[in-house]
Amino acid sequence: MDSLAFALALLPILWLVVVLLVFRLPAWKAALGSFALACALALLVWHLPAREVATASLEGFCMALWPIVLVIIAAVFAYNLCVSTGAMGTISRMICSISSDRRILALLVAWCFGGFMEGMAGFGTAVAIPAGMLVGLGYKPLPAVLMCLLANGVPTPFGSIGIPTVSLAGLVGLDPARLAFVEVLQLAPFFMVAPFLIVLVAGADDAYRATVRTRLAGVGLVALVSGASFVVPTAVVAAFVGPELAVVVGSICSLAATALVSMRVERAGALDVRFHLETEEGEPVSLAGALTAWSTFILIFILLMGSSKLVPPVNEWLARFSSTVTIYTGKNPGSLSFSWVNTPGVWILVAAIVGGRIQGAGARQMGRVFVATVRQMMPTVVTMLAVLGCSKVMGYAGMISSISSFCIAVTGSLYPLVAPWIGMVGAFVTGSGTSSAMLFGLIQSQAAEALGTDPYWMVALNELGVAAGKMLSPQTLAIGLASVRVVGKDAELLRAVLPYVLGFLVAMSAIALAFA
């Protein structure tokens, strides 16, 4: 019966895989099918009463709407408004004025700026925008997308103001800051390796075949600094503030450190002229113009930091504006806490509106951008509702327990070896670190309990695998190719990124087992 229960419990997830990859239906349609299948199985096989199925679904919907959907719409609205006002053009011009070396530009655009976009908005913007910028600078389309894929995977657990990690912590009942810090520890080697891989790809995309040593010549120190200056601040912010701003701060520090070291290396004449690009010089950006362009992101940083636990009086006062409710009517119900003011989505909306005014946007322009953003994100909203509803139904019905108990019975003490692969599958299928967390977070948590291992370490392994799966996801590949206007090259791009993903996964499994 255990194997039968495992097979039946796995059906909603298998449905998602087959429908997305074989029938190529949109993610929101596939997710709705998984949700409907989970409800039917919970009713007919696990004999969960209809009322409990309904209230479990409602709990998932509420958790999706606040804060996940709020953060998604707020973050993408902030970005879209900056595009509409022209602020993103100014930001791009500032980044590209630092160096003309193709390898350094790739680090600045794909790694530093891409990491910033992942931390702020996520949902494909961290691949689409930097890839388009790189092609505009003269890079070939496929290598440009490949570099952005390599850069985008590692920060994914902290994308969209940390929503994958915040959601995962809420789902399994762990402290978000501690979970975020463990995730950074697991990801640290990949934070350090990713800049070197980007440099190698950027150096290989040239008129001649350069050796690995030649491609790294002159920029090895830059890549090292770029990785270290990203991961250290990310770890500090994750531990003392939480996951929301970890990658945002890390990417800003990396951008500053990479720019400073790059300018010193450039002045020293240590760069090979064969790697230089002919870039158009735009008008210099004044200090006032720079502050205006970055105003939305500066305000987001100030508001989130000012309302965090780093400022206890403010944080404690805002904590009063919250509610805790119990929705599920069955046994062992969970409780949901709603922070009505001190939640990232609210602060991002405030910063977007104020920043938009600073950049010259009027109420009508903001309204148009907001409506367009909501329309743009509706498929994602439906996907989040369906995935979280499915996750809650599967959890309360006992389907998650059936999956985890079978996996543990088969792998035993070696389960940590496969834990990152499970997270990878979730991100590969859904294209989302949040969706992977909602689908498999409870499995990892229950595995930790059964094996007697640290729940933070085991749950974090899910997001470790997400960093690999996001690079491989068909949705992410499609977004990248669409941004550089390339059609029919999905298989070629998949073959290019696959060796990196497999290398990451082998290393992730080794880390998972060694420290479990």
Q: What percent of the chain has pLDDT over 70?
A: 93
Q: Indicate the average pLDDT of the chain.
A: 85
State whether the Cα torsion 396-397-400-402 is positive or negative.
positive
Triad 368, 384, 65: Cα angle to 5°? 65
Contact yes or no for 458/416 (Cβ under 8 A): yes
Average pLDDT for 402-411: 81
Whether the predicted pLDDT of 182 surpasses 70: yes
Query: Any residues with CB less than 8 A from the CB of 485 and at least 6 apart, and which?
Result: 141
Q: Flag whether pLDDT at 191 surpasses 90.
A: yes
pLDDT one-digit tens code per residue, 456-482: 999 999 999 999 988 887 767 777 777
Residues 148 and 110 sit within 8 Å (Cβ to Cβ): yes
- Is the pLDDT at 1 greater than 60, yes or no? no
In angstroms, the CA 120 to CA 74 distance is 10
**What are the E-state strand segments in 330-374?**
336-339
Mean pLDDT over 391-405 rounds to 83
pLDDT of residue 485: 72
Rounded to whole angstroms, how far apart are CA atoms 323 and 33?
32
The lowest-confidence range among 272-281, 386-395, 488-497 is 272-281
The CA-atom distances, in angstroms, between 186 and each of 230, 415, 420, 455, 457 are: 14, 17, 11, 14, 9
Q: Which residue from 35, 63, 19, 40 is spatially nearest to 390, judged by alpha carbons? A: 35
Helix axis angle for 455-472 and 433-451, nearest 10°, is 150
Strands 322-325 and 336-339: antiparallel
What residues pair up with 382 in beta bridges, in sequence order? Answer: none
Region 320-339 average pLDDT: 88
- Report pLDDT for 78: 85
Long-range contacts of 367-371 (CB under 8 A, 24+ apart): 369/77, 369/80, 369/81, 369/84, 370/77
Please give the Cα distance from 60 to 72 (Å, whole number).
16
> Radius of gyration of the chain from Cα atoms?
22
* pLDDT tens readout for residues 89-136: 888 778 777 777 888 889 998 999 889 888 876 767 678 778 877 877
Supply 224's token pair. Answer: 């090292």
Structure tokens at 83: 């595009």
CA dist 41 and 397 (Å) reads 9
Tokens 């990878």, residue?
Answer: 424
Residue showing tokens 């830059």: 222
180 within 8 A of 162, measured Cβ to Cβ: yes
Q: Stretch 202-226: mean pLDDT, rounded?
A: 76
* Cβ(441)–Cβ(171) below 8 Å: yes
Identify the residue whose tokens are 């702020």. Answer: 120
Per-residue pLDDT, averaged over 368-382, amounts to 88
CA quadruple 241, 247, 253, 254: dihedral sign: positive
List of long-range contacts for 325-331, beta carbons under 8 Å, 24+ apart:
327/55, 327/58, 327/59, 327/62, 328/52, 328/55, 328/56, 328/59, 328/392, 328/396, 329/51, 329/52, 329/55, 330/48, 330/49, 330/52, 330/55, 330/56, 330/396
Which residues, other chains included, contact 22 with Cβ-Cβ below 8 Å and sequence gap of 6+?
none
Tokens encoding 263: 């300018």
Most distant CA pair in the chain, distance: 72
User: For 263-315, how does the pLDDT look when each residue is reduced to its tens digit (9 = 90+)?
Assistant: 888 777 666 656 666 655 567 788 899 999 989 988 987 887 788 767 889 98
pLDDT at residue 267 in the model = 76
Average pLDDT over residues 341-363: 91
C-beta atoms surrounding 482 within 10 Å: 16
Kindly state the tokens that stand for 1. Answer: 């019966």
**What residues contact 360, with CB distance under 8 A and at least 6 apart?**
85
Span 56-65, average pLDDT: 90
Burial of residue 219 (number of CB atoms within 10 Å: 0-12, 13-18, 19+): buried
- pLDDT of 207 > 60? The answer is no
First-to-last C-alpha distance (Å) of the chain: 30
